[in-house]
Structure 1
Amino acid sequence: MATNINRDNGVVELVNPPKFEYGQKVRAKKYVRNDGTFPGREVGDIIVSKGDVGYVTSIGTFLQQFYIYGIDFYELGYRVGMRGKELDLIDEEVSIDEAIKVIKEQAHG
């Protein structure tokens, strides 16, 4: 049986610049479950809860259609790839240096 991939009715985000930039602080708009790509957790486990806060640490693409933002959820201790529609910007004035400082502090416990 073929799996149907939701392609958002042909919307191609890549014709526009990314919605978010490196270092920006964002909040998850919804719960995110493991689709099998998150190591150490069962498929279907909730890995990000609505309201969790993190920083954009990478920007990639998927299916030559969507931006995927690597979000460091520093309080959770891991990064998750998310779509722009799953995120809200918290503070546009967060500098990259400030984001790096928070991430480093979290890494050193």
Structure 2
Amino acid sequence: MGSYGKAVMTGFICRLCSEQKKIVIHLYSSKAKEMGLMEKIRLLPITVEKYDNLPKTICEACISRLEMQFNLVVKIRKTDAIQRSHTLLHSNGRCPVECPLHRTAGPSTGK
């Protein structure tokens, strides 16, 4: 019989980093739902399905990294939308007051 320390406990393996952890969150738990973990995982280049044979838990370190990545994606999408509307609102090279970048645009906008 092998040692307990080398045993693989599938309920404690992180789906993202594959490391064995003492504290994990099950991806289909109410806490994971509350945290929006599945929504955030969908931004990754992986597929997580409820009935696949892969781990359904995620460790605290990966949750933290996932949160940072999700926040970055949200910021990038918001910035992209602002910049696109900024471009659409201009006429004659002037930055109108209703433009979301009106106060932040530099002197090259014709203010």
Global fold match (TM > 0.5): no
Structure in which a larger fraction of residues adopt helix: 2
TM-score tier by shorter-chain length is under 0.3
Structure in which a larger fraction of residues adopt strand: 1
Which protein, 1 or 2, shows the higher relative CO under an 8 Å CA cutoff with sep ≥ 6?
1
**Which has the higher Rg, Structure 1 or Structure 2?**
2
Q: TM-score by structure 2 length?
A: 0.26
Q: TM-score by structure 1 length?
A: 0.26
